[in-house]
A = this chain, B = another copy of it.
């Protein structure tokens, strides 16, 4: 076999090893804070060496940031998929409700991952990933509502405030143990908050 034939197989192995480490990191960081998880533990859980963790992610902060990036991409894909599942021309309120239900699924799946919103320390690079994702979410909702923030500043505060509302309400839900029965009250409160904050739906 020529070298040209072997290279693709080697690349695949590298990706698989990287993914195994990322999966192990996700599993451990989902249950513990950044400072509580060591790269040794991640390496052991992935069946890899600590040197490989550093090779692929540079540092524990790099691994943690990759885990956050992965979680953000997973969430955004789930949100797009839920939105595509709605009938064409669905009212904005239904689109926001569907997005909130996806968000709650994610919160319930990784409740511990919401701890940084409560002040648990995390690397600055990971926080930057979250802030960019938030800006994207605000821009997405602004588009759904066809808002022109310059025309009425209240709308812009309504959008940013809404996402703060959702995060804070979700933390209260996590504290209550993510009870299924509270899903609907939480979503109704959040939809009411957005509606009330806007004053109208995109007028």
Contact = CB atoms under 8 A, between A and B. Distances in A.
Contact of A196 (B127, B182, B192): B192
Contacts of A119: 116, 122, 124, 127-128, 130-131
A64 interface: no
Contact of A164 (B168, B195, B198): B168
**Integer count of this chain's copies in the complex:** 2
A189 to B, nearest CB: 4
B165 A162 contact: yes
A69 B168 CA distance: 22
19 contacts: A121-B121, A152-B185, A153-B182, A154-B188, A157-B169, A157-B185, A157-B186, A158-B189, A158-B193, A160-B169, A161-B165, A161-B190, A164-B165, A164-B171, A165-B193, A165-B197, A192-B198, A193-B196, A194-B196
